[in-house]
Copies of this chain bind each other. A is one copy, B any other.
Amino acid sequence: MSDIPPTSNKTDKRNGIEVDVRALRDLYRALDAHSESAAMAAIAELHPADAADVIEQLSSAQIRALARLIPVVFSGEILSELPDDVCETVVEELNARQIADAIGKLESDDALHLVEELDEGLRAEVLDEVTPKDRAAFENSLLFEEDSVGRLMQRELVALPLFYSAAQTIDSIRNAAADDIPESFYELYVVDPGFHPVGRVGLVALLRAQRNANLEEVMIPLQVTVSQNMDKEDAAYLFEKYDLPSAPVVDEAGRLVGMITVDDMVKVMHDEHTEDLLALAGVSEAGLGDTVWDVVQSRSPWLLVNLVTAIMASFVISLFDQTMERVIALAILMPIVASMGGNGATQGLTVVVRALAVRKITSANARRVIRREMLAGFVHGLIFAIIVGLITWVWFGSLTLAWVIFFAMIVNHFVAGLAGVLVPLGLKRLGADPAVASTVFVTTVTDVVGFFIFLGLAALVLV
């Protein structure tokens, strides 16, 4: 029935790094046999992250079957470990009560992420099922912009006044009710009477402080505070730059309202990486469980754009049909000019997109980067114009043709260098994501310019 992976007796030595194929095989069998107990047994022993990895390997139909068979498996951690598209599939098979139960077992940030994924109707039903306190917290969080820190932050944190002693602080952590402090945290924040965070105290520093020292003496003044409206990718950048384990989140008045932690930021970085990489290739979204239809939907829009630009290039070529008819070598050689220019431009483009993503291109150095890319394009043009010129001379025995391709390649590589840097910088300045659409713009430029210069020069010189 389902495609059972080939049996293998060797236990996977790369524990945790590769999917547990044995558990996956057991799960396939349990689903085929509709055995609730066997399905439970297959994943019960696994870490939630490993169980999620195994479940992610199933087809959507199998995931639905699993959710119907043992909904309890999705109550809590496993659900929050699943990628969004899989999570969506599971949630469609659960009722509001079951989803609310799952949410009740998570920390506030993971729980919110689940609630975010629900569509309006179901979300309202689920919110009816959770505690009034949780409900208020969710509704509050959902007021923030979708990709803001406010959506990601957790409200559980430890904040204490400046005059607390180290001993008092330790006692208050020791004696707090389990619900009032996070299960694990790396630093606490010191706040002034207006609840503005002014410093942070790592737990090691707290333990090693004199017992009667005030937090004011023990704390490190805050260098990084994150606003609740900040874009989460900006926050992730700060974590990476300053090696932060966590950061305090403040509202517009600078009051402490939450905390974000490095593990959430690692997820943000991961998603940002995936987005950039896919955007450069013209793919809007990709999940492992995607059907053929999902794939076509997520990729055909950019293929359509590419078709329009390819037709533009063909139109440019058609302007020179008579020239080509007389010198068919032009038709044979023209893809070289376009392809080399396209590749050169893509190289520069990728370097610039990455530098923008890691905030390394600023008003102070943009001009230097543009100059460098232009020059590099020119040098590449010169090198490859010489090689291609010589090849053309030998292949077709025409020195004039060799000179034509020589000049066309220099011009096109120079234009490629320029387009590769100006297009992403321009998109960025317009407030657009430089990774999206850059590739197709830039290769259109190099195709159109490449064909036009090469065939145009030929028309002037050869005919």
Given known A-B contacts A24-B364, A277-B354, A339-B306, A208 and B173 have beta carbons under 8 A apart: yes
A241 proximity list for chain B (CB < 8 A): 16, 49, 53
State how many angstroms separate the Cβ of A430 from the closest Cβ of chain B. Answer: 18
* Interface residue count on the A side (C-beta < 8 Å): 131
State how many angstroms separate the Cβ of A26 from the closest Cβ of chain B. Answer: 12
Within 30-56 of A, Cβ neighbours of B (below 8 Å) are at 47, 49, 53, 56
A334 proximity list for chain B (CB < 8 A): 331, 335
A375 proximity list for chain B (CB < 8 A): 292
State how many angstroms separate the Cβ of A10 from the closest Cβ of chain B. Answer: 12
A70 close to chain B: CB less than 8 A: no
The distance in angstroms between the C-alpha atoms of A262 and B261, with both chains bound, is 11
A447 close to chain B: CB less than 8 A: yes
A47 proximity list for chain B (CB < 8 A): 223, 242
Are B174 and A208 within 8 A (Cβ)? yes
Query: Which chain B residue shows the least CB distance to A295?
Result: B376
Are B321 and A328 within 8 A (Cβ)? yes
State how many angstroms separate the Cβ of A265 from the closest Cβ of chain B. Answer: 8
Given known A-B contacts A17-B359, A273-B273, A283-B351, A376 and B173 have beta carbons under 8 A apart: no
Query: Which chain B residue shows the least CB distance to A266?
Result: B240
Within the complex, which residue of B263, B300, B344 is in contact with A262, where a contact is CB–CB below 8 Å? B263
Within the complex, which residue of B24, B49, B277, B328 is in contact with A350, where a contact is CB–CB below 8 Å? B277
Query: Which chain B residue shows the least CB distance to A5?
Result: B364
Q: Would you give the 0/1 interface string for A175-192, flagging 1 where the beta carbon is closer than 8 Å to chain B?
A: 010000111111000000
A203 close to chain B: CB less than 8 A: yes
State how many angstroms separate the Cβ of A161 from the closest Cβ of chain B. Answer: 19
Within 417-431 of A, Cβ neighbours of B (below 8 Å) are at none
State how many angstroms separate the Cβ of A166 from the closest Cβ of chain B. Answer: 10
Query: Which chain B residue shows the least CB distance to A364?
Result: B5
Q: Would you give the 0/1 interface string for A341-380, flagging 1 where the beta carbon is closer than 8 Å to chain B?
A: 0011011111101110011111111011100110110011
User: Which segment of A116-124, A128-136, A252-260, A312-320 sits at the interface?
Assistant: A312-320
Are A263 and B291 within 8 A (Cβ)? no
The distance in angstroms between the C-alpha atoms of A332 and B266, with both chains bound, is 48
Are B282 and A335 within 8 A (Cβ)? no
Query: Which chain B residue shows the least CB distance to A47?
Result: B223
A251 close to chain B: CB less than 8 A: no
The distance in angstroms between the C-alpha atoms of A26 and B365, with both chains bound, is 15
A104 close to chain B: CB less than 8 A: no
Are A242 and B296 within 8 A (Cβ)? no
A57 proximity list for chain B (CB < 8 A): 362, 364-365
Are A317 and B346 within 8 A (Cβ)? no
Are A372 and B314 within 8 A (Cβ)? no
What are 16 A-to-B residue pairs whose CB atoms are below 8 Å?
A8-B363, A240-B270, A245-B262, A277-B277, A277-B353, A278-B350, A278-B351, A283-B351, A286-B354, A296-B380, A303-B343, A303-B380, A307-B340, A311-B391, A313-B335, A328-B331
